[in-house]
Every structure is written in structure tokens, then in C-alpha cells.
Amino acid sequence: MNFIKRHPVLMSLVLFFFATQVISLNLEEKHAGDPFSRFVLLLTYYPQKSIFALTGTVVSIWQNYVDLVGVREENERLRLEVRKLREERFRLWEEELQNKRLKNLLGLKKVYSYKTLSANVIGGSPSMLRSQVIIIDRGKEDGVSEGMPVATHEGIVGRIFLVGAKSSEVILITDEISAVDAYIHRTRARGIVKGTGNGCVMEYIEKKADVSVGDKVVSSGKDGFFPSGVVIGTVIGVESSAGFIRARVSPDMDLDSLEEVLVILKAPENRVANDE
Amino acid sequence: MNRVLPVIFLILLSLLFIVLQSTFFSPIHFGHAFYPDLNLVLIVFLGLFSDLRRGAIIAIGNGYMMDVLSGYVIGIHSLSRLSVFVILKGISQHIYSQSRITQAMAVLFATLFLWGFIWVSLRLKTDDLEFGISLGDVMTQGVVNTVVGLPVFWIINGLYAKVQW
């Protein structure tokens, strides 16, 4: 013990060596979801849930007493309705385009519909090393498993990264390790949407493709994680990059202030991209 | 002098700080570098005032919880925070730890050392590293940790003195 106190720099170098080794190991096989990790999720679940409930109660009391209750509720209901109508309009638009394409085809397309599970966001990442992580109050006991997509009515949020008994970690689509196979809704140009830490970029779009600012980006379903036709965001900038087009994409919702999300109960499939 | 109570106090404090860090003080709510790293403040406290064995165990446990909740490579927070602790433990024998200037300097130094350790470790082992944290972010966090964290540090110090007796 005295040796450690007398030679802190040497000890730090030893720890540094271990850190580099740990990084090497984990880069090949990241987060296997070991029992210790699950235990930490369980250990922090109750305090996080209590804080969520406490803040929820305080905020609720504040809003109910200070705001005009009736107006707020009405506003909330109308906002929900507008969201649903927007979603419905978008879906109809999507189906119209799809129908036009399918008229030329003889094959049948199987339409998937998945069950969803609502969840509250009870926490976020404690470190800026990976800040694009949220913690939700649903876990293995609710049927959640690793890789399941998470969304809201406004579009894709991310996917389940680690599952505990009662809570789970979600990697947001804006995180650097996140990637979604997607297409531009208006022109069907394909690409991969990757997180940048504070937004998204759609990469590997063919040079000849038609992409412009304001285009909606939707998931293709080819990556095996996300169902097809779910909104990812809107193109806010286009540039050319090494023989491809690169589009900056802004998610349609504020991912930093999510309160409720939907877990799409769809297990990841082992699919090969470009299997059209 | 009570031997068990300080350990329980530090473990509970570590858990409380992890929970606060992942709820109120999460960088997702505060913006990239503008959040106070309460857990690092705790590590600095351990480095300056607790004994080596219990401090090291709590530092590594705290780092492990950070690893799990941030969804990052398991071990990077644990080892970097243990390293901060070890360095501060070594330095604490040669400085006057009760001085507020020393404590402020220790928090600032710990923030810079921590991110330097993480950056170099990742840089050495990954080819296509996109380290999304700039020197400006680290400096900002150093200042935030020092300003916001220092009162927290004094509160811990006061409570720790009480549970020891």
C-alpha cells in the first residue's frame, strides 16, 4: 500500500496500460450485457424512478395550480391530435407512393405491424464521453430485449442497448455508434443515417440522387433493427463527399428533452442490407 | 473513531451521486460540458481525505457504474477515475489538503487529468477515433466542476468529519 502512495505516477501508468487493453477487448465485443451491468441498472432503477416520480409530481402540481388547467389540458389534447393527424397524413402519403410503385410489380409485400410498449425516460448518461444515452423504466420483465427500436409518434429515437430487469438503456440515433439504413422519402434515394453526437448525417447517397433541404428521411427496414417507413428526420444541408452525397439530417423531435417513448417490440433480424 | 459508518456513508454518497448525475445533472439535459461531474468531485475528496484501500474500491465501483450507465466501453471510467484517485493520494501527502485553494486546484487538475487519460487511451487503441470532446469542453468542465463542485466538496468534507466520530 505504501508503494502505491510513494509511486502514484507509476501506478497511473500501470492503470493506463490496463485501460488501453480494456479498450482493445471491448472494441471487438462491446457491452455483452454482463450480470454486473444488469445489477447496476437494477440498483439505480428505484432511486431514478423515485426522482422521476417526485419531479413529475412537483411539476404536475406546479402546472395544475399556476397554469389554467382547462386550457392546458385542451392544448395537450389538441397537440396530441395534431401529432396523430400528421402521422396519419404522412402514412397516407407514404402508402400512396408505395401503391404507385407496387402497381408495376406482381409480388406481394407483407405488411408488418408490431406491438409497442410505452415507457418513461427516467434518466440519461452521466458522462459526456457518451452523452446520447437515455434510461427508460421498462426492462426484461416487460418483454424488452437488446436491439429493439425505440420511437415516438414523431419518429425514431434509437435502439435498446442494455436491458436490466426493470430498466433499459437506449442509444439515441444521434450517438456516434448509431446507424440506420434509410431513404429519402421523396425520391427513394438510399443511404445510411449515422449519429454525430449532436445530430445526424446521411451518408453514401449516390451522386446522381436527388436530395434537397427539407426532404424527409425515413427508415428502410433493411438493417434488421428498425421497421421500415418510420420518420428519422429532415434534411437540413447537402454536400458532396468522396463520390457520394452527404446530407445533414435533423431529427424531428427534441431528443434532449424526451419524457415518454415507445419501445417497438420487434426483435432484431439477421438481414443483409441491399437485399432488394 | 467509527470505522464502519464512514464506509457506508461513502458508498451511499457514491450511489446518490451516480443517480443525481444520471437524472438532474445528466449532460443530455445540461449541454455537452456544462454539467458538474459530482462523481469526480467525490473521487477528488477520496483522493485527498480517505484511506487508500476503501477509497480505491469506491473509486473503481463508482467508475464502473459510470461505465454501465453511459453505455461506454466497460473499464474506461473505472480505470481513469482510479488513476485520478491514485495520483491525488500520492500528492496529498505533500500538500495541505484543508486549504480551499488546494481543493479547487485538485478538482481542476483531476478534470484535466481524467480527460487526458481517456483521450490518450482511446487515441492509442483506435484508428478512426472521432473524439467528440474538445479541449474547450474539457476546460469548461474543469471550471464548472471547480465552481459548482467545490461547495459540494465542502459539504462532503463536513459530513464525513461527522460520521467518522
Q: Say whether B70 and A130 touch across the interface (CB within 8 A).
A: yes
Q: How far is the C-alpha of B25 from the C-alpha of A126, rounded, in Å?
A: 7
Q: Say whether B27 and A40 touch across the interface (CB within 8 A).
A: no
Instruction: For A197, name the nearest residue in chain B, comparing CA atoms only.
Output: B132
State percent of chain B over pLDDT 70. 93
Q: How far is the C-alpha of A131 from the C-alpha of A45, rounded, in Å?
A: 19
Q: Say whether B23 and A133 touch across the interface (CB within 8 A).
A: no
Predicted confidence at residue A109, as pLDDT, reads: 39
Q: Using 50, 70 and 90 to split pLDDT, how confident is the model at B58?
A: very high
Instruction: For B93, name the nearest residue in chain A, comparing CA atoms only.
Output: A5
Q: Using 50, 70 and 90 to split pLDDT, how confident is the model at A170?
A: very high
Q: β-strand A231-241 against A200-206: which pairing, if any?
A: unpaired
pLDDT of B17 strictly over 90: yes
Q: Say whether B18 and A44 touch across the interface (CB within 8 A).
A: yes
Predicted confidence at residue A136, as pLDDT, reads: 94
Residue A143 contacts B, CB cutoff 8 Å: no
Instruction: For A160, name the nearest residue in chain B, comparing CA atoms only.
Output: B71
Q: Collect all residues of chain B within an 8 Å Cβ-Cβ radius of residue A36.
A: 64, 68
Tell the residue number behind the cell numbers 462523481, with chain if given: B39
Predicted confidence at residue A152, as pLDDT, reads: 87
Q: Which of B68, B90, B125 sits opposite A40 (nearest CB)?
A: B68
pLDDT of A17 strictly over 60: yes
Residue A137 contacts B, CB cutoff 8 Å: no
pLDDT of B129 strictly over 70: no
Q: How near does any CA of chain A get to the CA of B58, in Å?
A: 14
Residue A14 contacts B, CB cutoff 8 Å: no
Cell of A198: 449532436
Listing DSSP states for A202-253 in one string gives EEEEETTS---TT-EEEE-STTSSSPTT-EEEEEEEEEEETTEEEEEEEESS
Instruction: For B89, name the nearest residue in chain A, comparing CA atoms only.
Output: A5
Q: How near does any CA of chain B get to the CA of A95, in Å?
A: 36
Instruction: For A122, name the nearest residue in chain B, comparing CA atoms only.
Output: B23
Residue A152 contacts B, CB cutoff 8 Å: no
Q: Which of B33, B65, B125 sits opposite A20 (nearest CB)?
A: B125
Predicted confidence at residue A102, as pLDDT, reads: 61
Q: Collect all residues of chain A within an 8 Å Cβ-Cβ radius of residue B137.
A: 128
Residue A24 contacts B, CB cutoff 8 Å: yes
The residues, ordered by sequence, that sit 6+ positions from A29 with a Cβ below 8 Å of its Cβ are none
The answer to whether residues A5 and B88 touch, using CB atoms and an 8 Å cutoff, is no
- DSSP assigned state of A110: P
Predicted confidence at residue B13, as pLDDT, reads: 93
Q: How far is the C-alpha of A136 from the C-alpha of B63, rounded, in Å?
A: 21
Q: Which of A19, A126, A130 sits opposite B75 (nearest CB)?
A: A19
The predicted-structure confidence for A102-152, as pLDDT tens digits, reads as follows 654 444 334 346 788 889 999 988 888 888 899 999 999 999 998 899 998
Mutate to test the interface with B, among A11, A25, A28, A131 (most CBs of B within 10 A): A131
Q: Using 50, 70 and 90 to split pLDDT, how confident is the model at A273?
A: very low
Interfacial A residues in 174-233 facing B (CB < 8 Å): 176, 196-198
Q: What is the mean pLDDT of residues B16-20?
A: 92
Q: Say whether B120 and A16 touch across the interface (CB within 8 A).
A: yes
Mean pLDDT score across all residues of chain B: 86
Mutate to test the interface with A, among B16, B20, B26 (most CBs of A within 10 A): B26
Interfacial A residues in 70-99 facing B (CB < 8 Å): none
- B71, burial (CB in 10 Å: exposed 0-12, middle 13-18, buried 19+): buried
Q: How near does any CA of chain B get to the CA of A224, in Å?
A: 21
Q: Say whether B133 and A129 touch across the interface (CB within 8 A).
A: yes
B96 SS3 class: coil
Tell the residue number behind the cell numbers 434488421, with chain if given: A224
Cell of B70: 453511459
**pTM of this prediction exceeds 0.90:** no
Q: Using 50, 70 and 90 to split pLDDT, how confident is the model at B35?
A: confident
Q: How far is the C-alpha of B18 from the C-alpha of B16, rounded, in Å?
A: 5
Bigger pLDDT: B103 vs A31 = B103
Q: Which of B70, B71, B73 sits opposite A23 (nearest CB)?
A: B73
